A and B are shown apart, each in its own frame.
Chain A
Amino acid sequence: GAGVSQSPSNKVTEKGKDVELRCDPISGHTALYWYRQRLGQGLEFLIYFQGNSAPDKSGLPSDRFSAERTGESVSTLTIQRTQQEDSAVYLCASSKDRVGVSGELFFGEGSRLTVL
């Protein structure tokens, strides 16, 4: 597609439920990132995928969070047993190369998660 596509755009769930957020990166982009942005806050790195390499999971806040990516295509971020503190906008981004080389992340519109 022309840009990074994320779904759902909005998700309201009850505390304790599991949620899945999906990201479809720009075609040809080998790197895919998930960031979280709480209200009024900056972007918090969650996880990074590069091609078929092992993902960098160093930003995942707890074992309730997990993410998968098949090859260089779609990624799914799963949050199990959601808590109210998980409420945030989850942003997916992709880049053509490692950002330390080119630096340009292309962001999707985000998935706004509200945990009641």
Chain B
Amino acid sequence: QKEVEQNSGPLSVPEGAIASLNCTYSDRGSQSFFWYRQYSGKSPELIMFIYSNGDKEDGRFTAQLNKASQYVSLLIRDSQPSDSATYLCAVNRGYSTLTFGKGTMLLVSP
């Protein structure tokens, strides 16, 4: 079983819709969960992190964590074409490093 799994997509949504990106992880001891956005040909950049079960909101983005199900998601409300990118889920491996999933490509059509 891979450590961090994501559907590769692409996930296609129309402009203004809610995009839902999902991630599962295998290590029950993981405590820190991150979403990075990577535009084509660019480096990843951090969008959000979440440590506690439940929801965490930041503008149009909401991260959701369910440790019992080993599941973390990212919701993007009012999706914009500029949100089109690959979204990488990352989970801490110990205190020092992050393990990344392969990413989900999101396409937002005008």
Q: What mask results when residues 94 to 106 of chain B are scored 1 for a CB within 8 Å of chain A, else 0?
A: 1111111111000
* Given known A41-B102, A43-B100, A45-B99, contact A100–B43 (CB-CB < 8 A): no
A98 vs B96: C-alpha distance in the bound complex, in angstroms?
5
Chain A neighbourhood of B93, CB < 8 A? 45
Chain B neighbourhood of A2, CB < 8 A? none
Chain A neighbourhood of B42, CB < 8 A? 109
Report if A77 contacts B (CB, 8 A): no
Report if A68 contacts B (CB, 8 A): no
CB pair A103–B34 under 8 Å, yes or no, is yes
Interface size class of A (residues with CB under 8 A): 20 to 34
A68 vs B5: C-alpha distance in the bound complex, in angstroms?
31
Chain B neighbourhood of A41, CB < 8 A? 102
Query: Which residues, 27 to 61 on A, are CB-close (under 8 Å) to B?
Result: 31, 33, 35, 41-45, 48, 50, 56
CB pair A103–B97 under 8 Å, yes or no, is no
Q: What mask results when residues 83 to 113 of chain A are scored 1 for a CB within 8 Å of chain B, else 0?
A: 0000000010000001111011101111000
CB pair B101–A99 under 8 Å, yes or no, is no
Q: What mask results when residues 76 to 110 of chain B are scored 1 for a CB within 8 Å of chain A, else 0?
A: 00000000000010101111111111110000000
CB pair A48–B96 under 8 Å, yes or no, is yes
CB pair A48–B43 under 8 Å, yes or no, is no
Stretch at the interface among B14-22, B44-52, B53-61, B65-73: B44-52
A104 vs B92: C-alpha distance in the bound complex, in angstroms?
11
Nearest Cβ in chain A — how far from B96, in angstroms?
5
- From the candidates B45, B46, B99, B103, name the one contacting A103 in the complex (CB within 8 A): B46
A residues within 8 Å of B by Cβ? 31, 33, 35, 41-45, 48, 50, 56, 91, 98-101, 103-105, 107-110
